[in-house]
Amino acid sequence: MHQQETPVSEFDYDLFVIGAGSGGVRAARTAAARGARVAVAEDRYLGGTCVNVGCVPKKLYSYAAHFHEDFEDAGGFGWQMGEAPRFDWATLRDNKIGEIKRLNGIYGRLLDNADVSLINGRATVIDGHHVQVAGDVISAQKILIAVGGWPWVPDFPGSELTVNSNQVFDLENFPQRFLVLGGGYIAVEFASIFNGLGSDAHLVYRGELFLRGFDDEVRTFARDEMAKKGVNLHFNTNIESIEKVAGGLKVTLTDGRVMEVDAVLAATGRRPHLAGLGLDRLDVATNDDGTLKVNERFETSVSSILALGDVTGGPELTPVALEEAMKLVEYHFTTSTPEPLDYARIATAVFCHPNIGTVGLSEEAARGIYASISVYSADFRPMKHTLSGSNERCLMKLIVDDATDVVVGAHMVGEEAGETIQGIAIAVRAGLTKAQFDQTVGIHPTGAEEFVTMRTATRH
């Protein structure tokens, strides 16, 4: 006999969200605005990875690291600095803590003002409609898993001596000698940040070149610029062991090199933070990498259990989680069907020094999709550095599908690349053509005008 589903009114909540990060909070607030009864359970901190140990503190530290170059650049413009600037790690660290507490408070008020119940505790899923948290069993029509990811560190002798990306912001003492293990954007960013703050910075990566998946020309350009700034890059090698010694940490690499450093950051990837949630008992389907498998409605294999954000294995970007949250609410708490999220044309930035900004396809990906493409690129010394004396260069690049003239990719390595690419991303998302880029009058003198003045293809 078919059992009739319990009416919505018999559940304690219409939506129970596990995780108060960017995606979970946005889904909770948006669903509540649609009239749903919503609760959020969080056992750690409001705002998730982004606010607490991700984008926000990272960007603040990146700003701090840039000042080092600004002081040096100022001389060519007539500024006499006098006594050499001195960096105080504790001031940056503690001011960052204050800012994050402020943001935590804002997230709390957002939930409170939206009439969302906040429960402090790690929730576990009992079945498709019940969770347990803080000793209580709570029923919900739908359960949303928005627990994000957690740093993963490989096992090797001395791996327990490393710090992960959650911990690196709050080191007690500033590491004069800093090593980061990894080749993703977190590794590249922190190598640049600590180099800019004054560390002797090293990056160790097992592959030939970092930032796999990004445009190859962007990767090589960023590699060369980072090396010029003094970051010591060690490719095609790995850490064999770490041991504590009187002067710090002795790191032995697989190529036989040995170095002594004060701190080792293991930026070796993040994995879904599913431990203890109870989803394994329900046999919820996962992807090969352990992330939760969802359909276009963000439903897992148990249809009343939803998931979004980093835990589903998509782009690990805060704005992606926010967009997914709003689309999820449209699917489940309105009568409309949203337009699917365009994952192929999502802009992103890497806050290494100089910054990387990118949207759309890499040159390599475009060659695999289109019969013929044209590449327009400009590699130049920014106007600012004609007087600063810096040898930093800037790269700008457009990828065009020859058959339609549509710009399918845009890339930049240079100062404020993220700010510049955000505007270009609108054009790429809109499917504008190279002719339309060319018809756009540039703003002079800016670096960004290069994106509308590149007339001759670099290669086809």
Q: Is residue 347 part of a domain?
A: no
- H/E stretch holding 180 reads strand 177-181
Residues 363 and 316 reside in one and the same domain: no
List CB contacts of 415: < 8 A, sequence separation 6 or more. Answer: 354, 355, 382, 384, 392, 394, 447
Q: Where is the domain boundary, 268, 289, 322?
A: 268
Q: Where is the domain boundary, 268, 301, 318?
A: 268
Residues 302 and 318 reside in one and the same domain: yes
Q: Which phi and psi (to 5°) does residue 358 adopt?
A: -155, 145
Phi-psi region for residue 94, left (φ > 0), alpha (ψ -120 to 50) or beta?
Answer: alpha
Whether this model's pTM surpasses 0.75: yes
Residue 179 CB neighbours (<10 A): 29
Q: Is residue 400 part of a domain?
A: yes
Residues 301 and 324 reside in one and the same domain: yes
Q: Is 63 helix (H, G, I), strand (E, B) or coil?
A: helix
Residues 261 and 379 reside in one and the same domain: no
Q: Is residue 247 part of a domain?
A: yes
Q: What are the start-end ranges of the H helices in 265-392?
A: 318-333, 363-369, 385-388
Task: Provide the CATH number for the domain around residue 410.
Answer: 3.30.390.30
Name the residue range of residue 202's domain.
159-268
The answer to whether the CB of 410 falls within 8 A of the CB of 399 is: yes
Of the candidates 202, 332, 353, 444, the residue annotated as catalytic is 444
Q: Where is the domain boundary, 245, 268, 291?
A: 268
Tokens 């036989």, residue? 256
pLDDT tens by residue, the chain, 460 residues: 444 454 546 899 999 999 999 999 999 999 999 999 999 999 999 999 999 999 999 999 999 999 999 999 999 999 998 888 999 999 999 999 999 999 999 999 999 999 999 999 999 999 999 999 999 999 999 999 999 999 999 999 999 999 999 999 999 999 999 999 999 999 999 999 999 999 999 999 999 999 999 999 999 999 999 999 999 999 999 999 999 999 999 999 999 999 999 999 999 999 999 999 999 999 999 999 999 999 999 999 999 999 999 999 999 999 999 999 999 999 999 999 999 999 999 999 999 999 999 999 999 999 999 999 999 999 999 999 999 999 999 999 999 999 999 999 999 999 999 999 999 999 999 999 999 999 999 999 999 999 999 999 999 9
Q: Is residue 264 part of a domain?
A: yes
Residues 130 and 20 reside in one and the same domain: yes
Residues 17 and 92 reside in one and the same domain: yes
Q: Is residue 25 part of a domain?
A: yes
Residues 258 and 275 reside in one and the same domain: no
Helix, strand and coil in the chain, % to nearest 5: 35, 25, 40
Q: Is residue 185 part of a domain?
A: yes
Structure tokens at 383: 């106007």
User: What is the number of domains present in the chain?
Assistant: 3
Residues 167 and 249 reside in one and the same domain: yes
Q: Is residue 22 part of a domain?
A: yes
444 is catalytic: yes
Residues 327 and 432 reside in one and the same domain: no
Q: Is residue 346 part of a domain?
A: no
Task: Provide the CATH number for the domain around residue 319.
Answer: 3.50.50.60
Residues 20 and 110 reside in one and the same domain: yes
Residues 283 and 226 reside in one and the same domain: no
